[in-house]
A = this chain, B = another copy of it.
C-alpha cells in the first residue's frame, strides 16, 4: 500500500515478521509432533506470541496448513526446474517431476493425512478444486506444461491442450495413493509412478485411434456441459 522504504525488496513489516514466526513455529511443531498434538497454545508459545495474537493472523488452526502448502509448492517448483535440465524424454520428465515432489514432501508424510482430511472437504478452501486454491493449482498445472513443452515427444492434437491439466489430475491421484502408502521408503508409490507414467503415455498415443478419439471427444463435451451446470446455480 505504501512505497518501499529502502531497497527494492519488500521491507518486512512488524506484522509480517510476527506472521512468519507463527508459521515457522507451527510447521516445526507439526513436523515434530504431528498436527493434532500441536496445540495452538504450544504454537503461540514457540512463536513468542499470545494465542489471541495467533488468531489475529490465522483465523483457524487449519489455515496454518496453507503455509505448509505454499512453502512446499515453491520448493518443489525450484527442485523440479533443476532436475529437469537436459532431460528431453517425456516419460522421464514426468517421472522426474513426480519424484521431485515425492522427495520434497518426504518429511511430511504423516502430516499429509491431516492435510488430505481437510482438503477433501468440498466446503473447505483447502480443497485443490476450490477457487481459493486456484493460484496454487494453476502454478502446478503450469509446471506440468513445462514438463510437456520441454520434451521432444509428438503429442496428438486431440489432447495436446488438455494434457498438462490431465497430468495434474493424475498427480492428484498419485498423491492420494501416497497418503495411504505405508511401505518402506514409499516404495509402493515409487513403483506406481515408474509403472503408470509409461502406461499413461501409451494411453495418450491411443487417443489418436478413431475409436478412442470418439470417447475423448465425448468426455470433452461432457466436461463442458458439467461446467455449465455447476456454474449456473452459483
Q: A residues near B, CB below 8 A?
A: 113-114, 116-118, 120-124, 129, 179-184, 187-188, 191-192, 195-196, 199, 202-203, 206, 211-212, 215, 218-219, 222, 225-226, 229-230, 232-233
Interchain CB contact (< 8 A) of A117 among B120, B180, B184, B226: B120
Central interface residue in A122, A123, A183, A206, by most chain B CB within 10 Å:
A122
Cα distance A113–B184 when bound, in Å?
A: 32
Kindly list chain B residues whose C-beta atoms are within 8 Å of the C-beta of A219.
Answer: 199
Interchain CB contact (< 8 A) of A179 among B122, B199, B222: B122
Central interface residue in A120, A123, A184, A215, by most chain B CB within 10 Å:
A120
The answer to whether A226 touches B116 (Cβ under 8 A) is no
Kindly list chain B residues whose C-beta atoms are within 8 Å of the C-beta of A129.
Answer: 180
Considering the complex of A and B, which 4 residue pairs feature the smallest CB-CB distances, nearest first?
Answer: A120-B120, A117-B121, A188-B229, A122-B180
Central interface residue in A195, A196, A219, by most chain B CB within 10 Å:
A195
Interchain CB contact (< 8 A) of A121 among B116, B212, B225, B232: B116
Kindly list chain B residues whose C-beta atoms are within 8 Å of the C-beta of A218.
Answer: 195, 199
20 A-B pairs whose Cβ atoms sit less than 8 Å apart in the complex: A113-B121, A113-B122, A114-B121, A116-B122, A117-B118, A117-B120, A129-B180, A182-B233, A188-B226, A188-B229, A191-B222, A191-B226, A195-B218, A195-B222, A195-B225, A196-B222, A199-B215, A199-B219, A202-B215, A206-B211
